[in-house]
Chain A
Amino acid sequence: MKILFVFTNLRYNEDAFNYLIDQIKKSGKTSCYIYFVPSKAIPRRLASWILYMGVLGEKLTEDLKETLRKELITRGEETLNELCNRVKLEGGVVGECKSMAGDLSNILEKLYEEITPDLVIIPREGEALFEEKEDVDVKFDYVEK
């Protein structure tokens, strides 16, 4: 079985990853393709807290956003490595473990064609990699072949 797991700085949660682990345990021999796609956006809630303050100048606001973007990307890359290691520990085979820059839907399309996975798991957009708790009810989408 081949599983494609794609997450971004805005789309990541433990439930989605646990679902991936469940599938590995169920199917036995599973190849996992795990990708992190850095997003330029910062979490909406985070942006609303800062930007509604209305006191920072344009440059400071932009610098602050850039700092946060960099931070979220660093976190994403750290998370990517952690996930790949956990997949190995659970007995899965890591087909690829990579950070890919670009538009999420284009990347998904390209990966889908290249890998032809049996299952695609994409966490839903929330406040991922920012706070521990998620606000969304359904935390991930998956498409089975």
Chain B
Amino acid sequence: MVEMFSRIRKGILLLGIFLFLFFVFVHPIPSLSTEAQNNIGLFFLTASLWTTNYLPLPVTGLLIFVLLPVLKILSPTDSFRLLGNRAVFFILGAFILSTGLLRTGLARRIALNLLKIFRDDYLKTLRGVFLIAFILSLFMPEHATAAILLPVVLEVSHLLNIKRGSREGKLLFLSLAWGAVIGGIGTMLGGARAPLALGMLYETFSIKISFIRWSVFALPVAVAVGGIALLLQSILMKGAGEKITADKLKEQKLPPLKRDEKYVAVIYLITLSLWVFLNKYIPLSLSALIGAILLFATRTIKWKDAQDYVNWGVIIMYGGAIALGTSLVKSGAATWFASSIISFTGNKPFLILALLSVFTILLTEFMSNTAAVALMLPIGFGISQSFGLDPVAVTFAITIPGGLAFMLPVGTPPNAIAYSAGYHSIKDSAKYGVLLNISSWFILLLFIKFLWPLLGVKI
């Protein structure tokens, strides 16, 4: 399977380079400007690099900043300006806040305390792992949730003597991945996708979405998909795990709450209140940075901690993604993509949203979910501009499914981290993941069709 992936990766990379050269040097679409055709070439090159990881993600971000001016799509000033987007600063602040949760051990304490509640039987323990991952991912990036929970879940598996390759073992680690992935779509804090989408929406249409409004759209989808995952868990566990008693989990003792943990909790609550109640007066990115600065000012974390816990390189990737998306819309390249899709579907908003969301789910299984959103949003925005589709609906219809990668480890860090424990195979995650992919897409379609119009979105 590894060799097959390697061959597919090579093929995608070569195709991306070929399409880049074809659009940049041949200019095959006479009706489009040179800049737009160069931009389409850059889109394909970036998509292939993000899919194959031939270059580290941040380096592809840097390449975008270099190629935008070189290909005369944007001036160097306009290109570099996009790295200073408010979404980038929101992500930066949110990542530093999560550093506080991780460094002080507060996130682990919350996880272990919650786990004690679910000790009656093994199915409850599985549900507990799922719900803890789900809840933590509502407040911190899903990759950090999975990374911090992996040792906890491994501890559980040893305490309860769960065997690798057993149904109990597979579901324990899949529950960790599923909880983190599904919780991650519920708020803006589960990953960089939502802030990135908001940044692109603001750059293109000058539309802002509040923290609460985002959650009103995204959280019900997360809860419904979570319900399906719990149901699947119960079905798959039928007749298994009955002999396992989870009582040993109660024996885990934790040290008393430290001063730093209390400070992180208070600062996090302050920041959350600013996001929820004062977002009309203080932009989300500023609130995130205020929270981050408070952590340093109270000596709760040091700059070294932020350096250690945050991958600063990905900030460049996010900046690059915003620059690419904005340039695609400005150069008219996004309109070309949009027209190609509309010529296939006709101007039927629901069908377009359904197709955009399913394409995003397919893409996100094979590449970083932020990258998938960054590639799909400009196409969606092109459709919005040309055919009058509500850009807010497009943003949600792409960004929410952008987080729903269940099948492959490469789709999202929680999948990779859960897989790294070696309790389940790629075949297992693909088999169960495809069921979750299909059911979550149907759930999303139901929400788009029936709930979103009630929330003021035009479908």
Interface residues of A (CB under 8 A from B): 45-46, 49-50, 52-60, 63-64, 67-68, 71, 74-75, 129-133, 135
Contact = CB atoms under 8 A, between A and B. Distances in A.
Contacts of B75: none
A54 B316 CA distance: 12
A74 to B, nearest CB: 7
Contacts of B413: 50, 53, 55-56
A59 B417 CA distance: 15
B417 A74 contact: no
Contacts of B410: 49, 52-53
B425 interface: yes
Given A54-B53, A56-B147, A56-B413, A49 B420 contact: yes
Given A54-B53, A58-B311, A64 B420 contact: yes
A67 B151 contact: yes
Nearest to A132: B165
A9 B145 CA distance: 27
B420 A57 contact: no
Interface in B239-257: none
A45 B53 contact: no
A82 to B, nearest CB: 12
B314 A54 contact: yes
The 3 closest A-B pairs by CB, nearest first: A59-B308, A54-B57, A57-B309
B86 interface: no
B455 interface: no
A6 to B, nearest CB: 21
B290 interface: no
B318 to A, nearest CB: 10
A129 to B, nearest CB: 7
A56 B145 CA distance: 11
Contacts of B165: 132
Contacts of B2: 45, 135
Given A60-B102, A64-B150, A71-B154, A50 B313 contact: no
Interface in B409-445: 409-410, 413, 416-417, 419-422, 425
Contact of B147 (A54, A63, A130, A132): A63
Interface string B397-417: 000000000000110010011
B311 A74 contact: no
Nearest to A50: B416
Interface of B: 2, 53, 56-58, 99, 102, 141, 143-144, 147, 150-151, 154, 158, 164-165, 305, 307-311, 313-314, 317, 368, 409-410, 413, 416-417, 419-422, 425
B422 A131 contact: yes
Contacts of B419: 49
Given A50-B416, A52-B56, A131-B422, 11 more contacts: A49-B410, A49-B420, A53-B368, A54-B53, A54-B58, A55-B311, A58-B309, A60-B144, A67-B151, A68-B421, A131-B425
A54 B56 contact: yes
Contacts of A55: 57, 141, 143, 311, 314, 368, 413
Nearest to B413: A53
Contact of A67 (B99, B144, B150): B150
A64 B421 contact: no
Q: Which of A57, A60, A67 has the most CB of B within 10 A?
A: A57
A68 B143 contact: no
11 contacts: A53-B410, A54-B311, A54-B368, A55-B314, A55-B368, A56-B147, A58-B308, A60-B144, A60-B309, A64-B147, A129-B422
Q: Which of A55, A68, A130 has the most CB of B within 10 A?
A: A55
Contacts of A130: 422
Contacts of B147: 56, 60, 63-64
A56 B311 contact: yes
A133 to B, nearest CB: 8
Contacts of A56: 143-144, 147, 311, 413
A67 B148 CA distance: 10
B311 A57 contact: yes
A69 to B, nearest CB: 11
Given A45-B2, A68-B420, A74 B368 contact: no
Nearest to A64: B147
A60 B413 CA distance: 12
Nearest to A46: B420
Contacts of B425: 131-133
B256 to A, nearest CB: 23
A57 B368 CA distance: 16
